[in-house]
């Protein structure tokens, strides 16, 4: 493990921002600290950087305990949320700042800065000031400045928060590629699950100062372990009366989470679903939302509101229309854990995941297809 946190605790007054935090990060990996605001993710990042000190516990980087080592000596590059570029310095001076502090000779500095300008595609902008740059360019300068002194660990605090939605998508890919190109172990903080899923190869989910789950994006998505992760990941709707749905019995659970991709809604005359129409239930559309590339239907099913996506290529539906609804699976949870429940009636018919796929229209490329 390249970076390790052992039993880290931290309080801000009465507020427990890090509660027995333990995790390890392998060299070369790109890790996301994902959680809602106030979950302690930024504090964890700042403790690794040395901008905050833990009340107890050990922070180990490259086999060395760094708790008492000054931030500047930890070999860390840090990209701040709003980039914190030095506004009275040019792009060149911003990138060169850390190198000058290392007392690097002037010609070496020039060489390194030019190399980074080329790497980040900022050639020709070196004489500009930060306020003369676009959001994306600023992020690239911040990245170049952070990696200029060749740190062994790169920390990024909400690296996309300050950028508008359109450019953000582009920059995610850029940053991911850039980090792999440079080959630097990186940890970034985000509250946006799409960002974490797309950019990171491991995700650490934080909530109320605790680590909820660590895993690859797919693992987190497919096998959420705690009630919090179940709810937090995906477009998840919590329902209490899950046992009122056809195919699910009441167990010793507090509630359940259904994601739109776990549900199929079809018109009763749809031939494709004739084999399963008898185990489906009738519901009524109460709301239709246009989501740009698909429709989002809310269907009232025995008093339980269910959300489902519908391709624009399929037949038109309207509010008040009766639909047949089939729920493949859901995540039930008690106080501590989450459990996958599959539709027992589908199971009886021996319709497993591969069979299911043929029932699906495979329409929404944005969501996982079971």
Partner 1 sequence: MAKGVRDKKKIGKAGVILIVISVLFVLLMLVLPLVSVIVNSLKEGFGFYFNSLSTKYVLSALGVTLLATVCAVLLNTFFGLVAGWLLTKFSFRGKQFLATLIDIPFSISPVIAGLAYIMTFGRLGWAAPIIDSINNTFGTDIQIVFAIPGVILATTFVTFPFVSREIIPVLNTQGRDEEEAAALMGAGGFRIFRKITFPHIKWATIYGVILCTARALGEFGAVAALSKTRGKTFTLPLEIDALYLAGSSDSITAAFAVSSLLVMIAIAVLVLRNFFERREL
Stretch that binds partner 1, among 19-27, 98-106, 107-115, 289-297 (CB under 8 A): 98-106
In the complex, the smallest distance separating the C-beta of residue 51 from partner 1, rounded to whole angstroms, is 7
Looking at beta carbons only, is 101 or 340 nearer to partner 1? 101
In the complex, the smallest distance separating the C-beta of residue 158 from partner 1, rounded to whole angstroms, is 12
In the complex, the smallest distance separating the C-beta of residue 258 from partner 1, rounded to whole angstroms, is 42
Looking at beta carbons only, is 97 or 339 nearer to partner 1? 97
Looking at beta carbons only, is 129 or 174 nearer to partner 1? 129
Looking at beta carbons only, is 15 or 86 nearer to partner 1? 86
Q: Which residues contact 32 (CB under 8 A, 6 or more apart)?
A: 187, 188, 189, 190, 195, 196, 199, 200, 202, 203, 204
Taking CB under 8 A as the criterion, the residue among 97, 273, 339, 361 binding partner 1 is 97
Give, in order, the Cα–Cα distances in Å from 21 to each of 24, 32, 159, 213.
10, 15, 23, 11
Instruction: Please report whether residue 87 would count as binding partner 1 according to CB under 8 A.
Output: yes
Say how many residues touch partner 1, by CB under 8 A: 23
In the complex, the smallest distance separating the C-beta of residue 80 from partner 1, rounded to whole angstroms, is 5
Instruction: Please report whether residue 129 would count as binding partner 1 according to CB under 8 A.
Output: no
**What is the CB neighbour count within 10 angstroms for residue 177?**
10
Instruction: Please report whether residue 106 would count as binding partner 1 according to CB under 8 A.
Output: no
Instruction: Please report whether residue 150 would count as binding partner 1 according to CB under 8 A.
Output: no
Taking CB under 8 A as the criterion, the residue among 63, 88, 181, 316 binding partner 1 is 88
Please, which of residues 27-86 interact with partner 1 by CB under 8 A?
49-51, 70-73, 76, 78, 80-82, 84-86
Bridge partners, residue 188, by sequence: 32, 156
Taking CB under 8 A as the criterion, the residue among 35, 98, 159, 224 binding partner 1 is 98
Q: Which residues contact 347 (CB under 8 A, 6 or more apart)?
A: none
Instruction: Please report whether residue 101 would count as binding partner 1 according to CB under 8 A.
Output: yes
In the complex, the smallest distance separating the C-beta of residue 97 from partner 1, rounded to whole angstroms, is 6
Looking at beta carbons only, is 77 or 260 nearer to partner 1? 77
Looking at beta carbons only, is 75 or 215 nearer to partner 1? 75
Looking at beta carbons only, is 57 or 71 nearer to partner 1? 71
Instruction: Please report whether residue 160 would count as binding partner 1 according to CB under 8 A.
Output: no
Instruction: Please report whether residue 159 would count as binding partner 1 according to CB under 8 A.
Output: no
Edge-first strand listing for the sheet containing 56-61: 15-25, 3-12, 56-61, 64-65
In the complex, the smallest distance separating the C-beta of residue 329 from partner 1, rounded to whole angstroms, is 46
Answer whether 134's CB lies under 8 Å from 114's CB.
no
Answer whether 67's CB lies under 8 Å from 30's CB.
no
Rg from Cα positions in the chain: 25
In the complex, the smallest distance separating the C-beta of residue 149 from partner 1, rounded to whole angstroms, is 7
Looking at beta carbons only, is 69 or 238 nearer to partner 1? 69
Instruction: Please report whether residue 149 would count as binding partner 1 according to CB under 8 A.
Output: yes
Looking at beta carbons only, is 17 or 297 nearer to partner 1? 17
Which residues lie near partner 1 (CB under 8 A)? 49-51, 70-73, 76, 78, 80-82, 84-89, 97-98, 101-102, 149
């Amino acid at each position: 493990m390249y970076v390790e946190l052992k039993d880290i605790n931290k309080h801000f007054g009465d507020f427990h921002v890090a509660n027995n935090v333990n995790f390890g990060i392998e060299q070369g990996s790109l890790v996301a600290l994902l959680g809602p605001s106030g979950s302690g993710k930024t504090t964890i990042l700042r403790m690794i950087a040395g901008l905050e000190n833990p009340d107890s516990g050990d922070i180990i980087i490259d086999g060395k305990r760094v708790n008492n080592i000054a931030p500047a000596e930890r070999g860390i590059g840090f990209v701040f949320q709003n980039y914190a570029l030095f506004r009275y310095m040019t792009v060149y001076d911003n990138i060169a700042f850390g190198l000058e502090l290392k007392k690097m000779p002037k010609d070496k500095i020039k060489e390194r800065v030019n190399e980074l300008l080329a790497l980040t595609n900022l050639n020709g902008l070196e004489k500009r000031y930060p306020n003369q740059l676009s959001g994306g360019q600023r992020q690239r300068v911040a990245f170049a400045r952070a990696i200029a002194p060749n740190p062994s660990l790169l920390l990024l605090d909400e690296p996309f928060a300050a950028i508008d939605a359109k450019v953000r998508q582009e920059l995610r890919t850029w940053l991911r590629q850039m980090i792999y190109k440079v080959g630097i172990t990186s940890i970034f903080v985000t509250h946006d699950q799409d960002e974490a899923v797309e950019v990171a190869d491991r995700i650490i989910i934080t909530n109320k100062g605790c680590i909820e789950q660590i895993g690859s994006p797919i693992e987190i998505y497919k096998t959420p372990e705690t009630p919090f992760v179940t709810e937090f990941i995906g477009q998840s709707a919590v329902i209490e009366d899950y046992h009122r749905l056809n195919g699910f019995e009441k167990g010793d659970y507090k509630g359940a989470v259904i994601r739109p991709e776990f549900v199929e809604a079809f018109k009763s005359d749809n031939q494709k679903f004739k084999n399963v129409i008898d185990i489906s239930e009738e519901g009524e559309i109460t709301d239709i939302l246009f989501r740009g590339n698909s429709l989002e239907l809310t269907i009232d099913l025995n008093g339980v509101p269910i959300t489902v996506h519908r391709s624009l290529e399929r037949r038109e539906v309207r509010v008040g229309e009766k639909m047949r609804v089939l729920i493949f699976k859901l995540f039930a949870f008690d106080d501590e854990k989450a459990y996958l429940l599959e539709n027992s009636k589908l199971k009886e018919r021996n319709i497993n995941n591969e069979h299911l796929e043929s029932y699906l229209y495979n329409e929404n490329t944005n969501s996982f297809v079971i």
